[in-house]
A and B are shown apart, each in its own frame.
Chain A
Amino acid sequence: MTVTRRRFLAGASASAAALAAPAFIGRAQAADPIKFVSILDQSGGLDIYGKPMVDTTRMAIDELNAAGGLLGREIELKVYDPQSTIQFYTQYATQAAAGDRADVVHAGITSASREAIRPTFSRFQTLYFYNVLYEGGVCDLNCFCTGSTPAQTVEKLVPYTMNKWGKKVYIVAADYNYGQITAQWVQKYVADNGGEAVETEFFPLDVTNFGPTIKKIQAAKPDLVMSALVGGAHVSFYRQYAAAGMNRSVPIASTTFGVGNEHKLISAEEGDGMICAYSYFEEIDSPANQDFVARFKAHRGEGAPALNELAARAYEGAYLWAEAVKQAGTTERMPVIETLRTGLAVDGPSGRVTIEPKTNHALQNVYLAELKDQAFQILEVYEDQPPTDTLLVCDLVADPSQAVFKFENGLEAAGIKM
């Protein structure tokens, strides 16, 4: 495309108008469909997370439309695939906000992608949902983080596994903001529970040879390994760990294993005994969840993937937004945000999910489960857990003008004692 002066001026004045007075831009006529944009990786190394999320998002929108849409209008779902590339995230985020004029955007898998696009949605005043478990710390009026955070999951996982297996912990984590900050949370909870984090190692997302690390783990002789590894390549860690016979001597607990359906990727012998904590497991024994799983299998048809926290929360996230639109009676951004922040709740497959207004995070059930024969067996349930990590640093009720990521420079910089 060549940029002529006329086109440039038209574009510049339009975007100036959009920035200056978004409320005056006619959003939509009553009959126009409501625009719901989803930006999730469906190819590249992160597709193991993104594909099931897109499936459940699609199912939520289909169900809402089958029930008559929202406010008498149909919901139009537009899905972009950023191909596990941050650059495409920023491109599609701008497209969704400025081009499509989306009413809501549900987007991002890695924390790196979230931080790349969150400012875009603030700037364009486009309502943003991030439905993925992450390290906590986002404090942004425009952004709703519905996934679980370390205070909800790691805080349960660390003492449980330390009581069961012992106090010496070896941490392996992915090398970007999620892994770095989550490793700090693990170190903190290990220390809080009187244990010792003997070593912490970080891995770029494309590492597949974990041999040197496995030898180091053998030399360090920990009681358990805590893994925050991410993506398709890192699945090799669990295989190579089992191939060296380590899974029988030093068990693994993980903050990420299973949300990419890794438990279906490795065999039963390799995975048995691993312990994880999430706010959803496909194996939750409740009528609501059994119904959800059956509907998903029918909706997705043959080859339906296993369900995990990310997939379930993408579905519940869509319903949280839909409920807010219904109660607000409009899709306008501020009324919807205000409605969500009244402590809005939906009863989803994971149980009740309630928006916490100080942080725009969610109160949610947390389940602790052990892997057996490629399925999780639920050990403990903790109901309505608050995001206490983010509550330590964020109060949007006192100061709604915030749009920051408090843990950007680590926990100590955010004033959390290690």
Chain B
Amino acid sequence: MDLVAAVGLQILYGIANLALISLGLAIIFGMMRVINLAHGEFLMLGGYTVVIAANAGVNLWVAMLILAPLVVGVIGVVVERLLIRWLYGRMIDTLLATWGLSLLFIGIVTSIFGASTATTISPPLGVVSIGEYTSSAYELLLIGITVALGIAVFLVLKMTSLGLVARGTMQNAEMASALGVSTSRVYMITFGIGAAISGLAGGLLAPVTGVLPTIGAVYIAKAFITVISGGAAILAGTASASVLLGGVNGIAAFLTGPTIGEVALLVTAIVLLRLMPRGITGGLFRKSL
């Protein structure tokens, strides 16, 4: 029984982990149809922000919850102004440009901090016992933060005028523009928020996974698979794809091993996209956010 609870918690954490690394990408892709190949590096930069700030004596929680999203959000806005805004509607060009950006970020971070930075921050909080099993309390917190983040994004999109304008721009940019919305500003803010959420995710994961200049490559494939499997709806898509893929991955990894776990995740995504080429929310929950 304890084992079931412990493994269940672990699978829940795997799902939250996928949702956390994908949400920033989902916002940028879902709202703007921009495929951001530098997404992994946004996560990496969030991680570095936390490590550097924590080593400089900043409180770890401040570094993770405030500094990481702030710094990466600002970087996101700069990137959007300098690079992305010239390329709207040119998907292949954006793809190439953001890929170049990702290499640039890796190169800059490597040349400043070296290939392996001493990331001597440990996951805060202690250990939670479930009968004979123990889990990291920090993992529980990450699940909570992911849920809270999802709710926050929902409320912003649904309840605020910024959300309304953003959804309007997403549905019909020309009409929104004709009604006096500065679509260019909406895109800038959206990209900034997407980047900030990626930074937050990277910062939160830094104590668990460690930070290397190339750590982004580990996240990017999974984030893309989750977003594409989820389809156009930002929240419902990310949530449903994370539950499906994270669940399959967690169960298969526990029953067999990590290799089969990864294979199961990929096979599920391929079968899903064969049956629903536009992702889960392309078929189900189409009106959702």
Interface residues of A (CB under 8 A from B): 42-45, 47-48, 50-51, 175, 201-204, 206-213, 215-216, 218-219, 232-233, 235-236, 239-240, 242-246, 260-261, 264-270, 303, 305, 374
Interface residues of B (CB under 8 A from A): 3, 6-7, 10, 13-14, 17, 106, 110, 114-123, 126-127, 132-136, 138-139, 207-210, 212, 214-215, 217-218, 250, 253-254, 257-259, 261-262
Hey, which chain A residues are within 8 Å of B132, CB to CB?
Answer: 218
Docked CA distance A290–B119 (Å): 26
Tell which of B6, B133, B208 touches A236, judged by Cβ atoms closer than 8 Å: B208
Hey, which chain B residues are within 8 Å of A203, CB to CB?
Answer: 258-259
Total cross-chain contacts (CB, 8 A): 136
Known: A211-B139, A212-B254. A264 touches B259 (CB 8 A): no
Asked whether A244 lies within 8 Å of B14 as measured between CB atoms, the reply is no
What's the least CB distance linking B229 to chain A, in Å? 18
Asked whether B214 lies within 8 Å of A236 as measured between CB atoms, the reply is no
Hey, which chain B residues are within 8 Å of A213, CB to CB?
Answer: 253, 258
Docked CA distance A48–B115 (Å): 6
Known: A44-B214, A239-B123, A244-B136. A204 touches B7 (CB 8 A): no
Tell which of A42, A218, A265, A269 touches B134, judged by Cβ atoms closer than 8 Å: A218
Asked whether A211 lies within 8 Å of B10 as measured between CB atoms, the reply is yes
Hey, which chain A residues are within 8 Å of B122, CB to CB?
Answer: 239, 242-243, 266-267, 269-270
Hey, which chain A residues are within 8 Å of B133, CB to CB?
Answer: 215, 218-219
What's the least CB distance linking A226 to chain B, in Å? 16
Asked whether B210 lies within 8 Å of A232 as measured between CB atoms, the reply is yes
Known: A48-B212, A209-B14. A43 touches B115 (CB 8 A): yes
Hey, which chain B residues are within 8 Å of A175, CB to CB?
Answer: 259
Asked whether B115 lies within 8 Å of A243 as measured between CB atoms, the reply is no
Asked whether B210 lies within 8 Å of A243 as measured between CB atoms, the reply is no
Hey, which chain A residues are within 8 Å of B7, CB to CB?
Answer: 212, 215
Asked whether B208 lies within 8 Å of A239 as measured between CB atoms, the reply is yes
Asked whether A264 lies within 8 Å of B14 as measured between CB atoms, the reply is no
Hey, which chain B residues are within 8 Å of A233, CB to CB?
Answer: 209, 215, 218
Enumerate 5 A-B pairs (CB-CB under 8 Å) in ascending A order: A209-B14, A233-B215, A240-B208, A261-B116, A265-B116
Asked whether A236 lies within 8 Å of B258 as measured between CB atoms, the reply is no
Asked whether B210 lies within 8 Å of A43 as measured between CB atoms, the reply is no
Known: A48-B115, A204-B258, A266-B119. 15 other contacts (CB 8 A): A45-B214, A47-B115, A206-B217, A208-B215, A212-B250, A215-B3, A218-B132, A233-B209, A233-B218, A235-B210, A240-B208, A243-B122, A245-B126, A261-B116, A269-B122
Asked whether A232 lies within 8 Å of B123 as measured between CB atoms, the reply is no
Known: A48-B212, A267-B122. A211 touches B13 (CB 8 A): yes
Docked CA distance A279–B134 (Å): 36
Tell which of A209, A218, A243 touches B123, judged by Cβ atoms closer than 8 Å: A243
